[in-house]
Amino acid sequence: MWYLVIAKDHPGTLAQRLASRADHLARLHDLNNQGRLKLAGPMPAVDTIDPGDAGFTGSALVVEFDSIAQAWDWVHADPYFATGVYADADIFPFKPVLP
């Protein structure tokens, strides 16, 4: 099953986000190599691709797991949780239709 993950950053955690980004991306690359990643990216805090010091409000991902419990386990193991970037997350079942 596919899941939409909306993870929300704690305010003021841009430095932690940048410091743990390589580990975060490594997990996403692993998932992508397994064919279980449709979409992943940060949500800028302001209406621009490069928000600079404004940072990000969180991340959006569409990922595939056998169950929502597995999706939760994977999300909670993310380095952004371990380093205090993510405050919390929401996970929703997702049915891809297009493209």
Cβ-based neighbours of 95, under 8 Å, separated by 6 or more: 2
For position 99, what pLDDT does the model report? 85
- Asked if 67 contacts 46 with a C-beta cutoff of 8 angstroms, the reply is no
Give the closest residue to 80 by CA, choosing from 32, 43, 33.
Answer: 43
Which candidate, 14, 11, 46, 31, places its Cα nearest to that of 78?
31
Q: What does the pLDDT read at residue 7?
A: 98
Write down the pLDDT at residue 54. Answer: 97
**Residue range 17-43: mean pLDDT, rounded:** 98
Give residue limits of the domains in the chain. 2-94
- Quickly state the pLDDT bin for 19 (edges 50, 70, 90): very high
pLDDT digits (tens, 9 = 90+) for 48-88: 999 999 999 999 999 999 999 999 999 999 999 999 999 99
CATH 3.30.70.1060, applies to 2-94: yes
